[in-house]
A and B are shown apart, each in its own frame.
Chain A
Amino acid sequence: MPNIVEIRWHGRGGQGAKTACMLLADAAFTSGKYVQGFPEYGPERMGAPITAYNRISDTRCDVHSFIYEPDYVVVVDESLLESVDVTKGLSASGAVIINSPRAPEALRPLLRGYAGRVCTIDARRISEAVLGSYFPNTPMLAAAVKVSGVIAPQDFMTNMEIAYRHKFAAKPQVICKNLTCLRQSMEEVQEG
């Protein structure tokens, strides 16, 4: 299935990994793709590790299982690297994108021998500077789009603006800030 891009999200309950996964599905759908966006449900609570998945394809995705050999992995919380084998099954030609202020090479030793691309983005700094509080999922979503190339950046920004206008209809003042957050993250993501 070479035309399917599979993405796995690792986050902690409450950080919005599921929301980011759903927003990515939304943006990819709007750019004409077939999509799946689904979280792995269980007895989740704030702070517990959670997983969410995206399949993005030019044809309908028939498979309805979790993703074991993703093309890209997004780690919304750096502390998960200690407890979760985030790069398990990850394609060597893909990439892992980690929320961290550190450089990619500083994190590579924590990735259990993963040989592919390691990317980092300081989602906390961007989110706190632009949005005024810590919502890591917005910068992580943009970094995932930039690194994976599943959606052309300009299409993505256009689609997200439409999505935010809908999502934040009641508080339009945050739309511009969220778009800034996305743009800044796409510019700042570091590839190692």
Chain B
Amino acid sequence: MSIRERLSGNEAVAYAMRQIDPDVMGAFPITPSTEIPQIYSRYIADGLVGTEFIAVESEHSALSTCIGAEAAGARAVTATSSAGLAFMWELLHVASSSRLPITLACVCRALTGPININNDHSDSMNARDAGWIQIYAENNQEAYDNYLQAMPIAERSEVRLPIMVCQDGFITSHSVENIELLEDETVKAFVGSYEPENYLLKHDNPLAVGPYGVSSYYMEAKMAQAQAMVCAKQAILETGQRFGDLSGRYYGLFEAYRMEDAETAIVLIGSSAGTARVCVDRLRAQGRKAGMVKVRVYRPFPGEELADALKGVKAVAVMDKCESFSTHGGPLGAEVRSALYDASVHPLLINYVYGLGGRDFAVTDCETVFNALDEAVAADSAKPVYRHLGQRGGDLSGL
């Protein structure tokens, strides 16, 4: 029996945490994720959970706290954004290489500078090579659902990797919308308890965590991490299926919307996907064969699956809420382009950087992208293949 509620994205994540009742939370406040530990600390004060809340002086310490707790065999969580995630950078790698399935709620916000509190994906995308599983939500419902699936994915013995559950700062974190919640007992049964095989403080088989890795073993450790990420894909699919059987809301690696006969398509991540879905419906009503792919899982990257989903289209726009200063596109664009290189058919591809620092993405902006795709199809050329959308001084890309 689901519970009909209205919550912001942050409230939804805090609610999910309460239902799970993890052992430890280490957190330091930063906009726009502050509400998560704030709400959660109220749950603790009210005696609704047994979690040990460790107040720290920085995000570096927040994640260190989680690392210590997980290494000791506990289930640990944190939440952060932007500069907070950047300050965790060193420890992100310690967590993943130590194979500690910490759950981090990342409420995505632009990195400084100029200083900006609004949404883009420059924080989480900067951490894309840190060895964490990354799952993105379109709205508050998905932020909640993804959070409930995080531990069942990350804690599987063949995975044992930390997981970042991302949502768009303010756009979903501070927007109140309808949501369907599961009962507490249903959540507890779905998530289960954390029973690691080996951990630091296990009495009969104590374990060293984070020792030096000499050159003759270091590569094997990295291979094991890479193998775990391969295994994560199957774990994500199975967990998404199991969650669907429970809730009626099924999750895969990405959502392909009206892609069956699509001639042009937009690929994007997060809250913009809802806006793009509405745009696709409008274009379809005009007889234009538009489609949308919403990438849910960025790490592990579903390259082959995406290439397969895009094989029938003539032109695709890949949208990056992040500038990577490579001079030829953003991180999602690079991944999709790379995945298509090995495919047998190659659509024309334009990689847009958009929505930085909270720049709005409206249905009309999405139409602009589809119009550009139609022009590319007509001209049989996607050039310039790297563009910025909605720059006030015109599109400066392709320089």
- Would you give the shortest CB distance from A56 to chain B, in whole angstroms? 11
Which chain B residues lie closer than 8 Å to A164 at the CB level? Answer: none
B266 CB–A CB distance under 8 Å:
no
Which chain A residues lie closer than 8 Å to B176 at the CB level? Answer: 22, 25-26, 35-38
Cβ-defined contact, A37 with B277, below 8 A:
no
Q: Can you give 22 contacting A-B residue pairs, CB < 8 Å? A: A1-B278, A22-B176, A25-B6, A26-B176, A29-B178, A34-B177, A35-B177, A36-B176, A37-B175, A38-B170, A41-B117, A41-B118, A41-B358, A42-B117, A43-B117, A60-B177, A63-B278, A64-B275, A65-B363, A65-B365, A68-B362, A68-B364
Which chain A residues lie closer than 8 Å to B32 at the CB level? Answer: 41
A-B contact count (CB 8 A): 68
| CB under 8 Å from chain B, chain A span 61-120 | 61-66, 68
Cβ-defined contact, A36 with B177, below 8 A:
yes
Q: Which residues of A contact B (CB under 8 A)?
A: 1, 22, 25-26, 29, 34-39, 41-43, 60-66, 68
**A25-B6, A41-B170, A63-B278 known; A34 and B117 CB under 8 Å?**
no
Does more than half of chain A's interface fall in helix, strand or loop, or is it mixed? loop
B33 CB–A CB distance under 8 Å:
no
Which chain A residues lie closer than 8 Å to B98 at the CB level? Answer: none
Query: A26–B178 Cα gap in the complex (Å)?
Result: 10
Which chain B residues lie closer than 8 Å to A36 at the CB level? Answer: 175-177
Cβ-defined contact, A63 with B117, below 8 A:
no
Per-residue A-contact encoding for B260-271, CB less than 8 Å = 1, 0 else: 000000000001
Partner of B175, one of A34, A38, A42: A38
| CB under 8 Å from chain A, chain B span 151-179 | 168, 170-172, 174-178
Name the 4 nearest CB pairs between A and B, nearest first.
A62-B274, A38-B175, A65-B362, A64-B271
- Would you give the shortest CB distance from A35 to chain B, in whole angstroms? 6
Which chain B residues lie closer than 8 Å to A22 at the CB level? Answer: 176
List 14 extra interface pairs beyond A25-B6, A62-B277, A64-B171, CB under 8 A. Answer: A29-B6, A29-B178, A35-B178, A36-B175, A37-B175, A41-B170, A42-B358, A43-B117, A63-B362, A64-B138, A64-B172, A64-B272, A64-B275, A65-B363
Query: A34–B179 Cα gap in the complex (Å)?
Result: 9
Query: A37–B11 Cα gap in the complex (Å)?
Result: 14
Per-residue A-contact encoding for B177-193, CB less than 8 Å = 1, 0 else: 11000000000000000
Query: A145–B23 Cα gap in the complex (Å)?
Result: 45
Most-contacted residue by chain B among A26, A34, A65, A68 (CB, 10 A) = A65
B87 CB–A CB distance under 8 Å:
no
Which chain A residues lie closer than 8 Å to B171 at the CB level? Answer: 38, 64
B360 CB–A CB distance under 8 Å:
yes
Query: A67–B174 Cα gap in the complex (Å)?
Result: 16
Per-residue A-contact encoding for B346-386, CB less than 8 Å = 1, 0 else: 00000000000010111111000000000000000000000
Query: A126–B170 Cα gap in the complex (Å)?
Result: 33
Query: A1–B282 Cα gap in the complex (Å)?
Result: 10
Which chain A residues lie closer than 8 Å to B272 at the CB level? Answer: 64
Which chain B residues lie closer than 8 Å to A38 at the CB level? Answer: 170-171, 174-176
- Would you give the shortest CB distance from B112 to chain A, in whole angstroms? 13
Partner of A61, one of B172, B177, B364: B177
B134 CB–A CB distance under 8 Å:
no
Which chain A residues lie closer than 8 Å to B138 at the CB level? Answer: 64
A65 (CB) vs chain B CBs: closest residue: B362
Cβ-defined contact, B361 with A42, below 8 A:
no
B139 CB–A CB distance under 8 Å:
yes
Cβ-defined contact, B178 with A41, below 8 A:
no
- Would you give the shortest CB distance from A162 to chain B, in whole angstroms? 13
Cβ-defined contact, A62 with B278, below 8 A:
yes
Query: A31–B277 Cα gap in the complex (Å)?
Result: 27
Cβ-defined contact, A63 with B178, below 8 A:
no
Which chain B residues lie closer than 8 Å to A25 at the CB level? Answer: 6, 176
- Would you give the shortest CB distance from A55 to chain B, in whole angstroms? 9
Query: A38–B169 Cα gap in the complex (Å)?
Result: 12
Cβ-defined contact, A65 with B175, below 8 A:
no
Cβ-defined contact, B278 with A60, below 8 A:
no
Cβ-defined contact, A66 with B362, below 8 A:
yes
Query: A36–B175 Cα gap in the complex (Å)?
Result: 6
Which chain B residues lie closer than 8 Å to A35 at the CB level? Answer: 6, 176-178
